[in-house]
Amino acid sequence: MKYDDITEAIGNTPLVRIDPEVHGLRNIDLYAKLELLNPFGSVKDRAAWSMLRPMLGDAVRRGDTVVELSSGNTAKALALLAGMHGLPFRSVTNRMKIPEIKDLLLLLGAEIDELPGRSECLDPADTDDPLTRMYRTLQTSGEGYVHTDQYFNERNADAHFSGTGQEIVKDLDGRAPDYFVACVGTAGSSTGVARALRAHGADTTIVGLVAAKSDFIPGIRTIDEVHEVGLFDPGTYDAIETISADEAIDGLLTLVRRCGTLSGPTGGGAYQGAVRYLRTIDGSLTSRKSAVFIVCDRVESYLSYLRERRPALFGRPARANSLGSLSAGEIAGAPSVTVGASLEGCLVVDLRSSYAYQALHIDGSINIGEDVFETMLSAGLPFSRRQPVVLVCPVGEKSAAFAALLTRMGHPDARSLAGGIIAWRDAGAPLVRD
């Protein structure tokens, strides 16, 4: 397929049937709308392009900055679209919690402004919502901008009315599905698709999924936060259900491990929420039904999110010569040298960070940060057994562990500076800068 412009590749995503072996529903065909296959990687490509396109002419002529309140996929799509047209993009956010996404946006050339957190000592006069703060920041900056306003812009929902929704009906041979399940973020996709299905005369049951109040699932609003969204209309949904981060991750794992679909947590939540909802109906059905959910984006940006919540998923075999393999007894028995003893002829290795070393250190010592040092040791001793070594860390704990490890690896004279460099300083021994 040949395109003149990457934006032509937005939309027309596949609708893929989920193997009944996986979801276990007997009377319902469950389909995934694979929005992760949009060119920038998410369902937001449609909304971003729909919202920005009519503003582009003027924005390019004036050289405006494109701004949006976004913590993820909308920002990513807008950054790429703005970049294609030579415009700067700025994302203003107080919700961006995923480090990979921040780094990716910076790589794409976006600017990110993080708004201040709540005040510890209450200032009752300070009741601005993030949007008001963003407008104020922009007004004081004096530069020109266009704001795509995804939470209130009808073109967000329109993109899904004319695109996503129609595509689903077409792919189901002209019949709207009986059930449609979507997570609610800006409410753009669920609102737009619902309108399209209803315009088609279908009596589709629309299920909106929100996060539990104290939970965090990227791209999904909590039950309270949805009320801050201009596009959100409770009347759109036949049911609004809560989904937990745990369920979203379970769903994500099913999609990535069993369905060949590299879904992120939002898509995982939609899958899990759909199956949970449909299971309650499945047994009582007398005719064949169909259901569709949306896979919003891709898994790769959420590795740290997953690692934090399910560390076991990333379990790796222990490295050779790792500190973790030492017993408390080995560490307690590590050879040490007290402050004041001669270090003559010893290689002094300072295990602290390079900034700390550069600020002040023991004269003649060399700096190998503990992380690097541990990596080096996994391959074997990085110095001769004949070279006496003294290890230095802040309080003598880390250095004792490393001295124990070197001893176990067969080094005959590796010692830890007892009490560390803090004891050294407290004893009035000299510290230098080079």
Partner 1 sequence: MLYLKPRIDPLTQSVLDDGALLGRLVDGLGSPLNVVLPQRVGANVAAFRDAYRRHRLNGRIYFAHKANRSSALLRQFAATEAGVDVASVGELQHALGAGFTPDRIMATGPKTREYLWLAARTGVIVNADSPAELSELASLVAAFRLPRARAMVRLSRFQSSGVRVQSRRSRFGFPAGSLTETLDLLGKHGDHVELVGVAYHLDTVELREKAVALEGCLAALDECRARGLRPWSLDIGGGFGVNYLADAGEWERYTSELAQAVLGNRPPMTWGGHGYGLRAESGTLRGSLALYPAHRPVAGADYLDKLLGTDAPDRRRPLGELLLDHMYDLDVEPGRALLDQCGLTVARVLEVRDDGDDVLVRLDCNARDVSLEEHGVLMDPVLVPRLRVPKEEPAADRSEGVFLLGNLCLESDLITRRKVHLPRRPQAGDLLAFVNTAGYLMDFTATDALLAPQGRKVAIHRTGDGAWSWHLDENYWPIHSQPEVS
Complex with partner 1: residue 102 or 155, whichever CB lies closer: 102
Residue of the chain from 29, 111, 241, 246 that contacts partner 1 (CB under 8 A)? 111
* 311 binding partner 1? (CB under 8 A): no
Contact with partner 1 (CB under 8 A) among 320, 366, 422, 427: 422
Cα–Cα distance for residue pair 125/92, rounded to 1 Å:
22
- Ranges within 324-353 binding partner 1 (CB under 8 A): 352-353
Q: How far is the CB of 170 from partner 1 (least distance, A)?
A: 33
Q: Which is nearer to partner 1, 4 or 123 (CB)?
A: 123
Say which amino acid occupies 404: A
Residue 81 and residue 95: Cα distance in Å, rounded? 22
Size of the site for partner 1 (CB under 8 A): 51
How is residue 99 written in tokens?
């480090």
Stretch binding partner 1 (CB under 8 A), from 7-15, 76-84, 112-120, 203-211:
112-120
Q: Smaller CB distance to partner 1: residue 241 or 282?
A: 241
Q: Residue 263 gets which letter from DSSP?
A: B
Does position 356 interact with partner 1 (CB under 8 A)? The reply is yes
Nearest-angstrom CA–CA distance, 424 and 429: 6
Q: Which of 248, 348, 368, 421 binds partner 1 (CB under 8 A)?
A: 421
Task: Tell me how far apart the terminal alpha carbons of the chain are, to the nearest angstrom.
Answer: 61
Rule CB under 8 A: choose which of 58, 100, 308, 397 binds partner 1: 397
Cβ proximity to partner 1: between 123 and 173 the closer is 123
**E-strand stretches of 22-151:** 28-34, 65-69, 89-93, 111-114, 145-147
> 387 CB contacts (<8 Å, ≥6 apart)?
347, 413
For residues 275 and 294, what is the distance between their CA atoms, to the nearest angstrom? 13
Q: For residue 116, what is the DSSP state?
A: P
Closer CB to partner 1, residue 39 or residue 135?
135
Q: Which residue has the tokens 């996709």?
A: 189
- For residue 349, give the nearest of 362, 338, 339 by alpha carbon: 362
Per-residue x/- mask for partner 1, residues 113 to 142, rule CB under 8 A? Answer: xxxxxxxxxxxxxxxxxxxx----x-----
**Which residues, 159 to 218, sit near partner 1 by CB under 8 A?**
213-214
CB 11 within 8 A of CB 48: no
Contact residues for partner 1, defined by CB under 8 A:
96, 102, 106, 111-132, 137, 152, 213-214, 223-224, 227-230, 232-233, 352-353, 355-356, 358-360, 394-395, 397, 421-422, 425, 433
